[in-house]
A and B are shown apart, each in its own frame.
Chain A
Amino acid sequence: MPTVSKGDGMRGLAVFISDIRNCKSKEAEVKRINKELANIRSKFKGDKALDGYSKKKYVCKLLFIFLLGHDIDFGHMEAVNLLSSNKYTEKQIGYLFISVLVNSNSDLIRLINNGIKNDLLSRNPTFMNLALHCIANVGSREMAEAFAFEIPSILVAGDTMDSVKQSAALCLLRLNRTSPDLVPMGEWTARVVHLLNDQHLGVVTAATSLITTLAQKSPDDFKTSISLAVARLSRIVTSASIDLQDYTYYFVAAPWLSVKLLRLLQCYPPPEDAALRSRLTECLETILNKAQEPPKSKKVQHSNAKNAVLFEAISLIIHHDSEPTLLVRACNQLGQFLQHRETNLRYLALESMCTLASSEFSHEAVKTHIETVINALKTERDVSVRQRAVDLLYAMCDRSNAKQIVAEMLSYLETADYSIREEIVLKVAILAEKYAVDYTWYVDTVLNLIRVAGDYVSEEVWYRVIQIVINRDDVQGYAAKTVFEALQAPACHENLVKVGGYILGEFGNLIAGDSRSSPLVQFNLLHSKFHLCSVPTRALLLSAYIKFINLFPEVKATIQDVLRSDSQLRNADVELQQRAVEYLKLSCIASTDILATVLEEMPPFPERESSILAKLKRKKGPGKLPDIDENRRNVNGSTEHSENTDTTNKCSPSLLEDLLPTDRPRPSSSSPVILAARTMASTHPFTDVLNLNSTPSTGPNLLVDVFSDSSSPASVDVSEDNFSRFVCKNNGVIYENQLLQIGLKSEYRQNLGRIYVFFGNKTSTQFLSFSSFVTSSDILKSQLNVHTKTVDPIIEGGAQVQQILNIECVSDFIDAPVLSIQFRYGGALQNIAVKLPVMLNKFFQPTEMTSQDFFQRWKQLGAPQQEVQKIFKAKHPMDTDVAKAKILGFGVALLEGVDPNPANFVGAGVIHTKSTQVGCLLRLEPNDQAQMFRLTLRTSRESVSQRLCELLSEQF
């Protein structure tokens, strides 16, 4: 046997290859190749006709040169000529050259088609195979047109050789993919399914690939394949391996075919027929049992082949998601692999377990492996395995283990590979937000993230923490306190300065009562970081300073001095200079009222999908999230799971793709002036100086927010979810589902009110026949007048429409009006009803009074029916500043120094209705030890006392 080449060796080719291999440098190689190319070109152009052998030799050389990475721009014609040779080797080289080098739009296709046609008609199986390979490899439209009709009949004809059937099946698969219109389903489809019964396992292998692809496209046409596939699988799994002769690989019966059959079954839900179903269950059990048997060979090939089948069986079990015993067995099996010495197995086990974690049947079983997975995170030497461990922890996380998992991820983060840090940061931030029972833990976690891995904390993460703090008033005081403490560290990450600047700018007042964090101390602390920060952060800090001027008039002069300094007013950076100039002027010219309006606290952000989640999805790409491969699941219709299922699996891959260009929150660099104009125009006052408010126009790229699990989509039940959040607030998002977001902005004056309702279309499609009107109960109609302005019947995709409601309070009331919304989205009528947050306390006017006046009136209102008292447990952490803010938000004046006990709060106000005015006094006594409150209200009217007490007591 020749060592260089087998069969009819080509000496010239062997010499050329040896030459190339001996080349010492790249230059020498290029030189040798150019010489050869010139030689071949001259031979092809020469007068002398080349014989088949020479043509083959030169075409083969060209192929070789091409594979070395050099472009080949000639020889195609000679290769096509080889197709008409009668010698297999010459024909084969011709086809090889064509399938490697000819692309589908070559003008040679017609000539090639001719060659293929002759070979298909030759009835010589080897020639037919070459031709079919070529169609499958090039697969151009023109080729499909020429042969699409013939191939199905070759495939199902009774007298076709087995090997030709195999090639025909794969060829058909290709044509179906490139030109499905040319291969219509027909009489052949039923017969293709029966190839699963073929005696020849090679034919079955090829047919399974074809049927799987076709079944994914039109499952109904290939339903009959389920029973045949189960039967075939059962025969393989239970066979003594000798039956299958050469298809046994290291004592494993037909592993590749088994994998393919299991994959085909994943195109369908569990079989409906009970007998078939139990036969399949039996197969799966047998496969699971085999994993526990002692291996028949010590070779790694044996166990790999066996496990390939096992993993595919587990995929099918997860896909069906219907047999709890199998799911739990699968989980236990994977649990064993988690500690296997083969890295490959550990990797695959972690990955499979990720999908198991999302099944309600096996979620708990997966959770039992938490310690092993955490250990993998700490000890695995391969970063890709550790990455899988992180994915799995993320997938198995729920309310019960969130604290542990987040803590482990945080501690892993300190030593994690740079390549996966950012992703871990995102995951931690998402879990902390999703499973936060109290938001103080969330705030702590994110600040820890910044401390441990500040560089990897992306904008999305710190934007998000600010959005949440602004939207949740129960955590604002805590957040202010915590950032203040974190900023004490001598070296802190710039991201912390950003978060700190923003939060103190908004809520610094909540901790200013403590002399250790007085306004001046806060300002000095922030300003001590100023010089170490980049321009965008400095810009943010300047905005925080102007907010300070509004919050704390006592530091106005100090801050003005800073703004006036040359390093600010003459800063080389135009953005900083402009901010300094404008803020300084604003603080000098504007009256306190104007200042207070312009620098009002940020309104709540529209609640929308966590930008972090969006970023994680973007990072992982569709289908890459550990949670679920939607394509796999939705065929069996059991995608709905308990609350354990991750929010991410609510998004189909197409939505995920829509998400890719998600609008990012604006970086804080646009000029304040432009910004002012913009925000004014959109009816927001000039509050967005820190540029954090991302535009509320919600494009198609918005998904369900992590919070909005509770919002009932498109049901006519009246949504009250956010109602109580508006008792002490006038602005915010009252309702949100996948399609629509409703935001409110309200103003009240005496007995009149006006509500601006903003309807945001979150989809990319128009809402048609949109209507929105207010309904009230009969009793309420006499107590409250609501006038609605009509709203445009069409809301464009991504657009926001405003509706104005005018309200007049006639007499005191308990009920609340309901906003009913109706529109068509994609043909379906949507009905939404939302309870409008119009409460009696909205018509409060605060009244300031002295201690003496207060107690005098308190005594006057001493009749038993005038007082209402309630003692209740605190639902939120008891914080003085927060309580004060809430009482003010409730609408009364907060009277300082009235109550002998400084811990108590007293307030006074007048409720204005058209018919009458009702004076109101209130007293709130906190008991820190018992975590209780006592609320007492005295008004001249019993119904008013009752209602106000109900409203306010729910807020603490």
Chain B
Amino acid sequence: MIKFVLMVNRQGQTRLSRYYESVELNRRAALEADVVRCCLSRKKDQCSFVEYKDFRLVYRQYAALYIVVGVTDSENELSIYELVHNFVEVLDKYFSRVVSSGAIMFNLDRVHVILDEMIQNGHIVETNKSRILAPLTAIDKMADG
């Protein structure tokens, strides 16, 4: 299962974090800093999966934005790696442009909605882009109308 999803900029600042397993609030910051250090220090030709304590990190870089997913042993790494890409494509589709850490900050609530449509409770629930965006599109229509 998925333990957490982090979106981090190149300076190592967390832009979004979602935990699917309870981690005490005061331990989150330390965990995030450590995880980020672990991924940011890696080079392009290194593999995208990192053993970290008793679980694994799967990370993917988009320009200045890093997306890091913590998964247990029972998860398929490549499928998570592509899930990240699917997530990014959904964000791109919704915001009509390439996603950046700024866009995430300004639309935190919506990014959360999107993530919640895709992953619940540490498991993938939906991968179909238009269905992921259905609730948001509905709301936007209401607001515009």
Contacts and interface: CB of A to CB of B under 8 A. Distances in A.
Interface of A: 1, 4-8, 14, 17, 21, 60, 63-64, 67-69, 71, 88-89, 92-93, 96, 100, 103-104, 126, 129, 133, 136-137, 163, 166-167, 169-171, 173-174, 201-202, 205-206, 209, 245-247, 249, 254-257, 259-260, 263, 301, 304-305, 307-309, 311-312, 343-344, 346-348, 381-382, 384-385, 621, 623-624, 629
Nearest to A632: B74
A594 B144 CA distance: 101
B49 A205 contact: no
Nearest to A342: B47
Given A89-B109, A312-B76, 16 more contacts: A4-B106, A17-B106, A21-B105, A88-B135, A92-B109, A92-B113, A136-B120, A170-B125, A202-B125, A205-B124, A247-B128, A249-B127, A305-B78, A343-B48, A348-B78, A384-B46
Interface in B20-73: 22, 25-26, 29, 45-51, 54, 73
8 contacts: A14-B106, A21-B102, A68-B13, A136-B120, A170-B120, A201-B128, A202-B126, A255-B82
Nearest to B131: A202
A304 B78 contact: yes
Interface string B5-27: 00000000111111000100110
Contacts of B110: 6-7
A629 B125 contact: no
B76 A126 contact: no
A201 B113 CA distance: 20
Most A CB within 10 A of own CB, among B48, B109, B113, B128: B109
B46 A255 contact: no
Contact of A307 (B22, B78, B125): B78
Interface in B115-145: 116, 120-121, 123-131, 134-135, 138-140, 142-144
Contact of B49 (A1, A347, A623): A347
B109 A256 contact: no
B82 A308 contact: yes
Contacts of B82: 249, 255-256, 301, 304-305, 308
B107 to A, nearest CB: 6
B83 interface: yes
Contacts of A305: 78-79, 82
Interface in B71-125: 73-74, 76-79, 81-83, 85-86, 94-96, 102, 105-110, 112-113, 116, 120-121, 123-125
Q: Is the interface of A mostly helix, strand, loop or mixed?
A: helix
A98 to B, nearest CB: 12
B128 A89 contact: no
Contacts of B81: 304, 308, 344
A255 B47 contact: no
A537 B30 CA distance: 40
A485 to B, nearest CB: 40
A6 B91 CA distance: 12
Given A21-B105, A256-B83, A381-B45, A209 B135 contact: no
Nearest to B24: A103
A255 B49 CA distance: 19
A846 B139 CA distance: 101
A4 B102 CA distance: 9
Contact of B125 (A103, A104, A205, A385): A205
A305 B116 CA distance: 22
Contacts of A67: 14-17, 108
Given A5-B106, A166-B125, A206-B123, A246 B76 contact: no
B140 to A, nearest CB: 5
A640 B105 CA distance: 54
B74 A6 contact: no
A104 B102 CA distance: 32
B108 A246 contact: no
A835 B20 CA distance: 59
B42 to A, nearest CB: 8
B10 to A, nearest CB: 14
B14 A137 contact: no
A256 B127 contact: yes
B131 to A, nearest CB: 6
B47 A346 contact: yes
Contacts of A343: 45-48
A374 B126 CA distance: 42
Contacts of B121: 136-137, 170-171, 173-174
Contacts of B85: 301
A7 B139 CA distance: 8
A621 B72 CA distance: 14
Nearest to A101: B25
A292 B33 CA distance: 42
Nearest to B25: A71
Contacts of B79: 255-256, 259, 305, 308-309, 312
Contacts of A621: 54
A94 B52 CA distance: 33
Contacts of B127: 202, 205, 247, 249, 254, 256-257
A246 B86 CA distance: 12
A167 B126 CA distance: 10
Given A8-B143, A170-B125, A202-B125, A69 B47 contact: no
Nearest to B112: A96
Contacts of B54: 621, 624
Contacts of A137: 121
Given A17-B106, A170-B121, A259-B79, A7 B143 contact: yes
A209 B113 CA distance: 20
A136 B121 CA distance: 6
Closest 6 CB pairs of A and B: A308-B78, A308-B79, A209-B123, A170-B120, A246-B128, A382-B46
B124 A256 contact: yes
